[in-house]
């Protein structure tokens, strides 16, 4: 049974796209067929991590949402670009970075049912084991209707008061929408924090499992979204933490 995983955060800048790229790649490296959809249509960016340039993106998610082409035509085999080998596969459906395309989406919105139908079509056509959805941050009807069809919702938060409050709201909304399984991941934890105490406190506060705690990393910042971290630095503590989280997704 294919598994749909949404990666979400209440605020931007949490590292959501980095999480999506690294977790999807980690799972694909285990020999699974994995798809990623960038549904952050107002501010797309995950294609950079997979070394896919805008000029290579002939078709995008936008073309599917506007009825121009099937969603499979927008799926790029990015696994071959970053070193995912058979039997593993990694596909990306990017959103358009063209200003007029973004303006059109912001002005007219899109049909969420069509988006969700596209997810199902992608899973079936590409014979996916896992589909990762990189969401638009914050609370919106479109985002949550896509999250509602997920098997797992992974919420990313930073140890920051705004993130804590926003995550509390997001968790409540997700429960009301009857999300099947929720996991939390703490990102950008600074060096003065006791990570075990932080993990325990967050689990007690939200009543949900913290799948991983990620320290603030200069190595990740230096990579500057030019590639997938776990491929460039497979033995790095961050990559090990991504493997730990991906294991919980595969078991969940």
152-206 pLDDT, tens digit per residue, is 999 999 999 999 999 999 999 999 989 999 999 999 999 999 999 999 999 999 9
The model's confidence at residue 1, banded by pLDDT at 50, 70 and 90, is confident
This prediction's pTM: 0.97
Residue 236 pLDDT greater than 80, yes or no: yes
How many of the other CB atoms lie within 10 Å of CB of 175? 12
Q: Identify the pLDDT of residue 251.
A: 92
Q: How far apart are CA 2 and CA 127, in angstroms?
A: 8
How confident is the model over 112-156, as pLDDT tens digits? 999 999 999 999 999 999 999 999 999 998 888 888 999 999 999
State the residue for tokens 């007219």: 108
Q: Using CA atoms in the order 154, 211, 26, 139, what is the torsion angle rounded to 10 degrees?
A: 10
**C-alpha to C-alpha distance for 201 and 36, rounded to whole angstroms:** 31
Chain centre to alpha carbon of residue 51: 16
**Residue 84 CB neighbours (<10 A):** 24
Partners of 36 in the beta sheet?
92, 132
Q: How many CB atoms lie within 10 A of CB 52?
A: 17
pLDDT on residue 33: 98
51: phi then psi, degrees, rounded to nearest 5: 60, 30
Mean pLDDT over 33-53 rounds to: 96
Place of tokens 């105490």: 197
């Amino acid at each position: 049974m294919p598994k749909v995983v949404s990666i979400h955060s209440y605020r931007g800048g949490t590292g959501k796209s980095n999480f999506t790229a690294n977790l999807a790649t980690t799972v694909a490296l285990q020999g699974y067929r994995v798809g990623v959809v960038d549904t952050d249509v107002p501010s797309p960016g995950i294609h950079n991590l997979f070394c896919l340039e805008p000029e290579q993106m002939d078709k995008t998610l936008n073309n599917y949402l506007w009825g121009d082409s099937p969603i499979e035509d927008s799926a790029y085999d990015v696994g071959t670009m970053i070193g995912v080998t058979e039997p593993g596969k990694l596909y990306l459906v990017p959103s358009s970075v063209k200003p007029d395309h973004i303006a059109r989406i912001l002005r007219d919105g899109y049909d969420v049912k069509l988006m969700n139908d596209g997810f199902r079509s992608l899973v079936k056509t590409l014979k996916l084991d896992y589909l990762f959805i990189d969401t638009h941050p914050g609370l919106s009807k479109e985002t949550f209707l896509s999250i509602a069809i997920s098997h797992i919702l992974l919420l990313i938060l930073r140890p920051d008061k705004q993130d804590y409050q926003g995550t509390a709201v997001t968790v409540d909304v997700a429960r009301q929408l009857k999300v099947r399984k929720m996991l939390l991941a703490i990102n950008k934890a600074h060096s003065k924090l006791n990570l075990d105490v932080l993990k325990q406190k967050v689990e007690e506060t939200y009543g949900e499992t913290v799948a991983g705690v990620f320290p603030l990393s200069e190595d990740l910042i230096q990579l500057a979204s030019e590639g997938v971290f776990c491929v460039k630095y497979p033995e790095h503590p961050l990559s090990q933490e991504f493997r730990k989280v991906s294991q919980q997704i595969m078991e969940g």
